[in-house]
Structure 1
Amino acid sequence: MAQELSIIKIGGNIIENRTELVAFLRLFASLKDPKILVHGGGKLATQLATKLGIESKLVGGRRITDAQTLEVITMVYAGLTNKNIVAKLQANGCDAIGLSGVDGNAIQAHKRPVKDIDYGFAGDVDGVNSPLVSTLLERGLTPVFCAMTHDGKGQLLNTNADTIASELAIGLSGIYSTTLFYCFEKKGVLMDINKEDSVITHIDSKKYQQLLNDDIIAEGMLPKLTNCFHALKKNVGKVCIGHPSMLTTKDEIFTTITL
């Protein structure tokens, strides 16, 4: 039986809230190995862009990445956010290594073709360097990936962090039994965004279509759930969405995604 591997993506307000982030990283460090952390940082990037007079544009929960925006997100994602997370994990006894898709050619991508919308320097993943990531895990290191990839020709690309997590889970599913966790400040996918206790505990393909038709699923949750179903169709064992407490508390309420 294949060894279990947890791929955990952290985002939402937890990244921006110092107290929440410190608590999460302490919890993450305590989880058994092997594990991988993937982080976003979109709100911090938006804040910095605003300070620099650069307008941020999002369509359907995905960022439009022009040349100036690419510079900002590289600074925030691969620099400030990634290294702060790695430093805090080291302080909690977790031997972490900060990575982007560029490092070790870990995640290859291509610039998203222009169709109805020009997303600029946004990257769609082509593949994961599973042997590299597996080698790091085998040596007791915990990879911490930011949401940056490259095209192999010298061009950096902004790639949705949910997609990074999904593709890592898919890429490593041939070596490990992979479980994908999307953690943020809510308890799960909510039926009513204004009611914290309205968690939808189970979503399958049929339920997902119904939620779309009723406009329950929107904005940033759209790409997240798209990645959930994509991962399940590509041999990922389990996908969950909810508060980080779901990682350690058996009776915690969260959302489980199935086909």
Structure 2
Amino acid sequence: MITEKKKGTLSIVKIGGNIVDNPEALEAFLNDFHQLKGNKLLVHGGGVMASKMAKQLGIETKMLNGRRITDEETLKVVTMVYAGWGNKSIVASLQKIGCNAIGLSGADANTIPAIRRSPVPIDFGFAGDPDPDKTNIAFISQLIESGITPVFCAITHDGNGSLLNTNADTIAYTIAAACSEIYQTTLHYCFEKEGVLRDINDPDSLIAMMTREEYEAYKQQGIIADGMIPKLDNSFKAMINGVSQVIILHAKNLLSGKGTVLG
């Protein structure tokens, strides 16, 4: 554990697959991301693009509780999409607007080692569960302090030569929790909704603030379901592990901060 005085603030921003798959929305978001003051780090998904690619290749996409079941062929697809085209396209776009970025997977520099998830009670295949305590924050900090913006995709590794598919929300939580040791860290989950909504079809039903107890109640009532569950699970874990603030918001509101603030 690093006990030195914290080096300043760090904004960790996770951008969802629906924005990543929309060139105009992604360009607008990346411009806003570049304008964020202080140190920053980007984590991106790409699930929509991966599902489209899998369909083109005749590979069935299987999801459970918002998480992808990753067999061997699916692992190849998500690695190609996340760590390849998706990651490098984002890095190239950031370079275009003057943000000196570097694209990384969790395997690079051993930044995010993970353990393959147990097949009991559900076999998610090549799915990885990372540990914030094993995250290479010294390397991440070295990049940040050198003026380089890390851009992480949702691929980790097991230390034994196997890549692992890891939920991008989990990647963001893991890095945020780890980096909170040396930075005052804020975690932003950006996607195509205004935040956490009481009615997913009504953008005016935003829940502006939410506690863990309220989250559990909403989940029981079915108001919160599917992919929002791992997002919120990771959000509250981040706060328990030292992250200063977590905000869930529309990508267009990154600079204003309007969304669901967790407390």
**Maintained 8 Å contact 2:43/2:153:** yes
1:12 shift after superposition: 3.9
**Maintained 8 Å contact 1:123/1:157:** yes
How many angstroms apart in 1 are the aligned matches of 2:184 and 2:84? 31
Q: Give 1:130-169 correspondences, 5 Å limit.
A: 130-169=137-176
Name the residue aligned to 2:55.
50
Q: TM-score, normalised by structure 1?
A: 0.97
Name the residue aligned to 1:239.
246
Helix, strand or coil for the counterpart of 2:82? helix
What is the letter of the counterpart of residue 62 of structure 1? R
Q: TM-score, normalised by structure 2?
A: 0.95
Helix, strand or coil for the counterpart of 1:107? coil
**Maintained 8 Å contact 1:12/1:185:** no
Any gaps of 5 or more consecutive residues in structure 1?
A: none
Q: In the alignment, which of 211, 218, 224 is matched to residue 211 of structure 1?
A: 218
How many angstroms apart in 2 are the aligned matches of 1:35 and 1:194? 32
**Maintained 8 Å contact 2:12/2:176:** yes
2:16 is equivalent to residue 15 of structure 1:
no
1:247 shift after superposition: 2.6
Q: In the alignment, which of 22, 32, 37 is matched to residue 27 of structure 1?
A: 32
Helix, strand or coil for the counterpart of 2:113? strand
Any gaps of 5 or more consecutive residues in structure 2?
A: none
Name the residue aligned to 2:110.
105
**Maintained 8 Å contact 2:11/2:41:** yes
**Maintained 8 Å contact 2:190/2:254:** no
Name the residue aligned to 2:87.
82
| Identity value in percent | 54
Name the residue aligned to 1:185.
192
What is the letter of the counterpart of residue 153 of structure 1? N
RMSD over aligned CA atoms reads 1.0
Q: 4+ residue runs of structure 1 moved beyond 3 angstroms?
A: none
Name the residue aligned to 1:228.
235
Name the residue aligned to 2:208.
201
